Amino acid sequence: MAQFAVSEEFSTGQLPMQVSRSTHIPARRRGWRALAASAAFVVVAAVAGCTSQPAAETASPSGSPSVEGALPAALQAELQAAVDETVMQYDVPGAVAGVWIPGEGSWTTAVGLADIENGTPTTTDMSWPLRSVTKSYTVTLLLQLVDEGKLSLDDPISEYVDGVTNGDQITLRQLAGMSSGNADYINDDFIEVFSADPTRIFTLDELNSFVLGKPAQFEPGAEHVYTNANTNLLGAVVEKVTGQPFAEVLNERILAPLGLTDTKYILDVTTWTQPHTLGYGPNADPREPMDQNFSIFGPAGSMVSTLDDSHLWAQALASGELLQTSTQAEREQGAPLDSGPPYDQYALGIGETNGWWGHNGEGLGYTAAVFSNPQTGASIVVFTNESNVADKAHPADQTFRRLAEILEKGTTK
pLDDT at 323: 98
- pLDDT average, residue stretch 280-302: 92
Confidence check: pLDDT of 412 > 80: no
pLDDT at 1: 26
Confidence check: pLDDT of 52 > 60: no
Does residue 306 sit in helix, strand or coil? coil
| Residue 67 and residue 97 in contact, taking contact as beta carbons nearer than 8 Å | no
Q: CB-side exposure of 201: number of CA atoms within 13 Å?
A: 7
CA distances in angstroms from 409 to 24, 67, 379, 412, listed in the order given: 37, 20, 15, 5
pLDDT at 322: 98
Q: Which pLDDT band, with edges at 50, 70 and 90, does 282 fall under?
A: confident
Q: At 171, phi and psi to the nearest 5?
A: -95, 165
CA distances in angstroms from 24 to 110, 232, 283, 361, listed in the order given: 26, 21, 11, 15
pLDDT at 5: 35
pLDDT at 36: 25
Q: Which pLDDT band, with edges at 50, 70 and 90, does 375 fall under?
A: very high
Confidence check: pLDDT of 45 > 60: no
Confidence check: pLDDT of 109 > 90: yes
Q: Which pLDDT band, with edges at 50, 70 and 90, does 65 fall under?
A: low
Stretch among 57-61, 243-247, 308-312, 352-356 having the lowest mean pLDDT: 57-61
Q: Which pLDDT band, with edges at 50, 70 and 90, does 152 fall under?
A: very high
- pLDDT average, residue stretch 2-7: 34
CA distances in angstroms from 261 to 99, 127, 170, 274, 288, listed in the order given: 20, 11, 35, 14, 30
Confidence check: pLDDT of 15 > 50: no
| Residue 104 and residue 411 in contact, taking contact as beta carbons nearer than 8 Å | no
Query: Residue 393: how many CB atoms within 10 A of its CB?
Result: 20
pLDDT at 32: 30
- pLDDT average, residue stretch 178-190: 95
Share the mean pLDDT of the chain: 87
- pLDDT average, residue stretch 226-250: 98
Confidence check: pLDDT of 337 > 60: yes
Q: Using CB atoms within 10 Å of the CB of residue 2, give its burial: 0 to 12 exposed, 13 to 18 middle, 19+ buried.
A: exposed
Residue pLDDT, tens place only, 75-98: 999 999 999 999 999 999 999 999
- Amino acid letter, residue 143: L
- List the chain domain ranges: 4-24+41-134+184-207+246-412
Own/partner long-range contacts of 72-81 (Cβ < 8 Å, ≥24 apart): 72/104, 72/105, 75/107, 75/406, 75/410, 76/52, 76/107, 78/406, 79/107, 79/109, 79/403, 79/406, 80/50, 80/52, 80/109
Q: At 121, phi and psi to the nearest 5?
A: -75, 155
- pLDDT average, residue stretch 315-326: 98
pLDDT at 67: 80
pLDDT at 347: 98
pLDDT at 391: 84
Does residue 344 sit in helix, strand or coil? coil
Does residue 266 sit in helix, strand or coil? coil
- pLDDT average, residue stretch 193-200: 96
pLDDT at 64: 57
Under CATH, to which class is 4-24+41-134+184-207+246-412 assigned?
alpha beta
| Residue 225 and residue 336 in contact, taking contact as beta carbons nearer than 8 Å | no
Confidence check: pLDDT of 276 > 90: yes
Share of the chain above pLDDT 70, in %: 83
Using alpha carbons, select from 262, 408, 381, 367 the residue that is nearest to residue 13. 367
